[in-house]
Amino acid sequence: MKKSILLTCMLAALGGCGGDNGKSITPADDHGDKGNNARYQELNNKYFYALKDKTDNPTASPLVMDIGEVPGTAVATNNPLTVERPSADETAAMQEVIRRVNALRAEQGREPVAWDDSLTAYAEVRAQELKQGFSHKRPDGSSDQDPRYVTRGYVYPNNGGNYKTPEEVVEGWKNSPGHYANIMNPEHRKVGVGYHHDPSTYSSGDSKEGYLGVANWVLVLGDGNTQSIYNLTAASPEISVDGVRQKLGGITVSGAKGKVIPLANGYQLSFRGYSDSQAYGQIEKGGTPLAYVNIGQPYLPKETDRFSATYKGKSIGDWAGVPTTADVTARVDFQANNKSMALTLDNTMLNGQPHKTLDFSDTLHWNTAHHRFEAAKDNYARFYGSYASEVGGQFKHDVENKNYQGAYGAVIQP
């Protein structure tokens, strides 16, 4: 399981950079220039309506960094239905199995399946049980599809014995009609992978100088509602607040462009989106996006400001670890009795393929104390740029019981 860390680092640095979205709204001499109020009002009329009391410089604010959810390491538990979270090496092997399974599904136009903690825990239990007898029956004689072990939906396990690598076991399932049919079931959305290597056992023909022990693999597939009675241990953060602050303490918006910053424990931060006043990127490990970051100098409107505007831009994200991009539209209404932002993500691409199921809309409301728009489940957005010429933020949304999350930036439309 993941624990959420929401980190806001207030940094002294300030910078700017060119945009990659094909549009830049940065009139160099006009914003905040009391001596050029006529031209300034012309810009206001172009971008907003009824925007008043804007003859002074905007409220000064330091660079702000928002960091979303980060993964962690295993924490021990004595709960018999809780399974120790796989090590980093085991997780990498399991993710490689999933990648290869999704490659097979893509060949037949099937949607990808995504890692699920509950199914992974059940798969881990079954992989260890296989050393007692290689079959689809559990040690007590019950079926591995028995509804006592699955609280919702149905599971379709694939067992693989004595395969040394993810490539070998997926190839074995591909060449087995029954296993291949399970993989290709169009209803599947979730997957768990179990792996157990027993160094005390040796496969036929192997010597102790050769392959050390039998490896059992289990693939558990299910639809979007499927859950098992098992789960993985909770996680504590691998990336510390102080560690992130130390790594990113001197960063500027312009300095973030194209930057890949190594973090602790094999993580890295890769900035993927830029505009004149903000940058956003993702924390990733082994190519899998895990958390998101926004940086920039927020524009802090006055409570007496009144304006409406539409912003357009792009998002990056992931659906249960599978990368996504989408078009972003944000419609802001900043009035006396209603300060809200209607956020829409559409034309979503999942691993480069259209996936309309992930399109969604949400309404965020202004939090005066936090100087940003907010909604449930860590959805939030800030104003950036000269006189709120940009917005940027992060989103989190449940789709088919899987987490869809990411970051975005957008510029105002004339």
Is this structure's pTM higher than 0.85?
A: no
Q: Which two tokens stand for residue 129?
A: 């049980």
pLDDT at 335: 93
Distances (CA, A) of 334 to 51, 96, 180, 349: 10, 47, 54, 31
The residue type at 230:
Y
B/e letters for 99-117, b = 16+ CB within 10 Å, e = fewer, are ebbbebbeeeebbbbbbbb
**Residue 170 CA from chain centroid, whole number:** 26
Report pLDDT digits (tens) over 159-182. Answer: 455 677 888 888 888 888 888 988
Query: 118 — phi, psi (to 5°)?
Result: -65, -45
> Is 304 in contact with 319 (CB distance < 8 Å)?
no
Q: Which two tokens stand for residue 346?
A: 């559409």
> Is 188 in contact with 113 (CB distance < 8 Å)?
yes
Nearest CA to 128 out of 232, 212, 219, 218 is that of: 218
Query: In the beta sheet, which residues pair with residue 66?
Result: 8, 294
CA 2, 272, 330, 359 torsion: positive or negative?
A: negative
Nearest CA to 356 out of 366, 370, 369, 345 is that of: 345
- CA–CA gap between residue 62 and residue 60 (Å, rounded): 7
CA 24, 28, 34, 39 torsion: positive or negative?
A: negative
> Is 158 in contact with 221 (CB distance < 8 Å)?
yes
pLDDT at 200: 55
For 15, the enclosing helix (H) or strand (E) is none
Q: How far apart are the first and last CA of the chain?
A: 44
| Pairing mode of beta strands 190-198, 114-115 | parallel
| DSSP SS3 for 244 | helix
pLDDT at 412: 93
Burial class, 201, CB count within 10 angstroms (exposed 0-12 / middle 13-18 / buried 19+)? middle
- CA–CA gap between residue 54 and residue 190 (Å, rounded): 52
> What are the residues whose beta carbons fall under 8 Å from the beta carbon of 308, sequence distance 6 or more?
48, 49, 331, 332, 333, 334, 335
Report pLDDT digits (tens) over 71-127. Answer: 443 333 344 578 888 877 788 888 898 999 999 999 999 999 998 888 888 888 888
| DSSP SS3 for 266 | helix
| Pairing mode of beta strands 63-67, 7-11 | antiparallel
- CA–CA gap between residue 156 and residue 113 (Å, rounded): 13
pLDDT at 208: 37
Point out the residues of the chain with pLDDT beneath 70: 1-62, 69-80, 130-149, 151-162, 198-214, 234-245, 377
